[in-house]
Amino acid sequence: MAAPQSNGYLPAVPRSIHFVSLGCAKNRVDTEIMLGVGDASGFQAVADPAEAEVIVVNTCGFIGPAKEESIDTILEMARHKESGACRRLVVAGCLAQRYVDQLAGEMPEVDHFLGSSDMLRLREILDEGGERLMVGHPADYTIRATDPRRLSQSRHSAYVKIAEGCNRTCSFCAIPGIRGKQRSRPVADLVAEVENLVAGGVVEANLVSQDTIAYGRDRPERPDLAELVRALAAIDGLRWLRLHYLYPETLTPDLIDALRGQSNVLPYIDMPLQHASDPMLRRMRRGHGGRRIYDVVERLREALPELVFRTTFLVGHPGETDTDFDELRALVDWARFDHVGVFVYSHEEGTAAGEMQDLVPEDVARSRANALMEQQRDIARSRARARIGHELEVLVEGPSDEADFLLEGRWWGQAPEVDGKVILANGTAQPGELRRAVVTHAAEYDLVADLLTPEGLRDAPL
């Protein structure tokens, strides 16, 4: 490889690379695969993009705001080709998969485009090869346990992508057109990956995919989610196993038994419900009505008394009326979910909803989103305060961002990055430890707790 040329501002770190990962946890796994490719190619990952010889932006192309963030980030990183050390700018992921021809014509500053299935082709670019457009159609890659990967955040917690793509036809969603049909990984391959992660210090595995409950239906041997959960739960050293992105369909008795039958399978469910009104669920092409949602929530809470329930809703979908929104608010009031995310509808080409004409004015949709989040904040605050005085198991993550000399972590009812944290006001512990702590204060999403000794006493103050 030729010696990197600086642009007169900052010298390049030889064979250096900087990554920006946007979007969801599934996208983060893709970024970590590319990090592994960079390691295998002899590149050093640097935190400062101004020092990087190669910059990779892994984009999100799901909805309008995510696309805008991706484009803004690309343009920001492109400036380092003039004022930093960057010699090559790579744009990867969903935005490139969806709009490669348009982006290639409008962004001459981008040297290479990789799609949502082309992470391993980064190696060609780092070897001074590769075409400008390296986006495969259709997207067909599925991660394997043998693929290079380096965790980008905590070394004690990892997302595990169990499948790629989606076979659903939800009206508002562009993902099947970007990521392709569902492609589930073999159980044995997933077991091998989690075993490798645990050997490297991971104690928490968070299962993700576009449609987790449909895991295995596309494979000839027809494994199911219950089989996978049991296989992963049996891995020695895996302390927490968490499930994300379950579709709200009928839960089999076998899956319920798998969720409650292993001590390291957390009673935490992330199930995007999207809406509660029958007319809206029909227009969204969700394949069920509001009654199923109430039934699923009731059944899960009956089976898992300590259940922590995360969900997301979509407001402002074409045709949503005040009555529809009132039904959604009634569900939130009834269910008292632990964690809720709210998205405002984005009119996306290539989707069924993108052809609908009865649009909800943007100010109305945003007002509904704000009202729903305000309603949920009151619920979250009440549920958090109810934990004061109770003991929780906490995964210690390291020094707190909130104050010097404090630690922070998450209890098992808080998923990484999305559900808040626990600030540990006293005691000492190492990152990666699972410790008991007693809650002393609570905000809407964060808790404050004191670490306990093995004997159940409050640990010594810092």
pLDDT tens digits, one per residue of 60-93: 988 888 999 999 999 999 999 988 789 999 999 9
Q: What end-to-end distance do the CA atoms of the chain give, in Å?
A: 51
Q: What pLDDT digit, counting tens, does each position of 177-198 carry?
A: 999 999 999 999 999 999 999 9
Q: Rounded distance, CA 460 to CA 457, Å?
A: 9
What is the CATH number that goes with domain 16-134?
3.40.50.12160
Note the pLDDT of residue 39. Answer: 95
- Taking a C-beta distance cutoff of 8 angstroms, is the pair 99, 68 a contact? no
Q: Which of 10-19, 43-52, 85-94, 305-314 has the lowest mean pLDDT?
A: 10-19
Q: How far is CA 324 from CA 189, 272, 347, 348, 370, in A?
A: 43, 17, 19, 22, 16
For residue range 358-389, list pLDDT tens digits in order. Answer: 999 999 999 999 999 999 999 999 999 999 99
| 103-143 residue pLDDT tens | 999 999 999 999 999 999 999 999 988 899 999 988 899 99
- pLDDT (0 to 100) of residue 154: 86
Residue 461: which pLDDT band, with cuts at 50, 70 and 90? low
Give the global pTM.
Answer: 0.91
Q: Phi and psi for 88 in degrees, rounded to 5?
A: -140, 130
- Measured in degrees and rounded to the nearest 5, phi and psi for residue 209 equal -170, 180
The C-alpha atoms of residue 219 and residue 215 are separated, in whole angstroms, by 9
C-alpha 60/C-alpha 24 separation (Å) is 8
Percentage of the residues of the chain whose pLDDT score is greater than 90: 82
Q: Is the per-residue pLDDT at 173 higher than 90?
A: yes
Q: Where is pLDDT greater, at 11 or 332?
A: 332
Residue spans of the domains in the chain: they are 16-134, 157-385, 391-451
Bridge partners for 114 per DSSP = 134
pLDDT above 70: residue 6? no
pLDDT at 460: 60
Confidence of residue 2 (pLDDT cuts 50, 70, 90): very low
pLDDT for position 8: 43
CA distance 391 to 439: 6
In angstroms, the CA 56 to CA 89 distance is 6
Residue 459: what pLDDT? Answer: 63
CB distance 16 to 52 below 8 Å: yes
Q: How far apart are alpha carbons 131 and 141 in whole angstroms?
A: 19
Out of 3.40.630.30, 3.30.950.10, 3.80.30.20, 3.90.1170.50, the CATH code matching 157-385 is 3.80.30.20
CATH of domain 391-451: 2.40.50.140
pLDDT for the residue 11: 44
The DSSP 8-state label assigned to residue 449 in this structure reads E
- Average of per-residue pLDDT across 332-354: 94
Task: Write the CA distances from 292 to 31, 277, 301, 451, integer angstroms.
Answer: 36, 11, 14, 41
Q: Has residue 3 got a pLDDT over 60?
A: no
